[in-house]
């Protein structure tokens, strides 16, 4: 049996633009993609901390170092410039893979640049506990 687990998360990113005219997706700074190990066109979940909306889309590569977090297409109705969001990617794991999971947790500053994780959420404490 395969089970779904958090693989990567970008926490507290600030939406820099919302573009209804684009056909879909979320444009993300390449530095953030690298930090979270996200690939172009990978499926993501987006959780809007400001408005409470949740939606699924995919990532497209934005310019490196620009801090871009642009919600595109119909999803632009669910997030506005200045909203803070969480971007999450999941993986399906077999039972034997679960103890090896170490999610990529990326925390960002006000300019959407990666910053150190708060002490209380060190990556190795995020691994699922096993009895």
Domain that holds residue 117: 2-125
Catalytic site residue from 22, 47, 58, 129: 58
Structural domains of the chain, count: 1
Q: Is 47 a catalytic residue?
A: no
Tell me the whole-structure pTM to 2 decimals.
0.88
Q: Is residue 130 part of a domain?
A: no
What per-residue confidence (pLDDT) applies to 119?
60
pLDDT along the chain (131 residues), means of 10: 96 97 91 97 98 97 96 95 98 95 95 82 46 38
Using DSSP's 3-state secondary structure scheme, residue 72 falls into strand
- The tokens describing 48, both together, are 């809007």
- The tokens describing 89, both together, are 């990617």
Q: Which DSSP symbol is given to 117?
A: P
Using DSSP's 3-state secondary structure scheme, residue 41 falls into coil
What per-residue confidence (pLDDT) applies to 42?
97
Q: Is 58 a catalytic residue?
A: yes
The CATH number linked to 118 is: 2.40.40.20
What per-residue confidence (pLDDT) applies to 131?
38
Q: Is residue 53 part of a domain?
A: yes
- The tokens describing 130, both together, are 């096993």
- The residue behind tokens 């959780």 is 47
Q: Is residue 16 part of a domain?
A: yes
Q: Is residue 50 part of a domain?
A: yes
What per-residue confidence (pLDDT) applies to 129?
40
Catalytic site residue from 22, 25, 47, 129: 25
Q: Which DSSP symbol is given to 82?
A: T
Q: Is residue 38 part of a domain?
A: yes
């Amino acid at each position: 049996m395969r089970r779904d687990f958090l693989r990567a998360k970008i926490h507290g990113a600030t939406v820099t633009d919302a573009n209804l005219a684009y056909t879909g997706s979320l444009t993300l700074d390449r530095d953030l993609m690298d930090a979270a190990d996200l690939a172009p066109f990978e499926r993501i979940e987006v959780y809007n901390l400001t408005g409470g909306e949740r939606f699924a889309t995919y990532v497209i590569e934005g310019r490196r170092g620009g801090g871009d977090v642009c919600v595109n297409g119909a999803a632009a109705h669910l997030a506005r410039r200045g909203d803070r969001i969480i971007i999450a990617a999941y993986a399906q794991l077999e039972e034997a893979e679960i103890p090896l999971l170490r999610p990529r947790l990326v925390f960002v500053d006000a300019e959407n640049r990666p910053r150190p994780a708060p002490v209380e959420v060190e990556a190795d404490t995020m691994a699922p506990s096993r009895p």
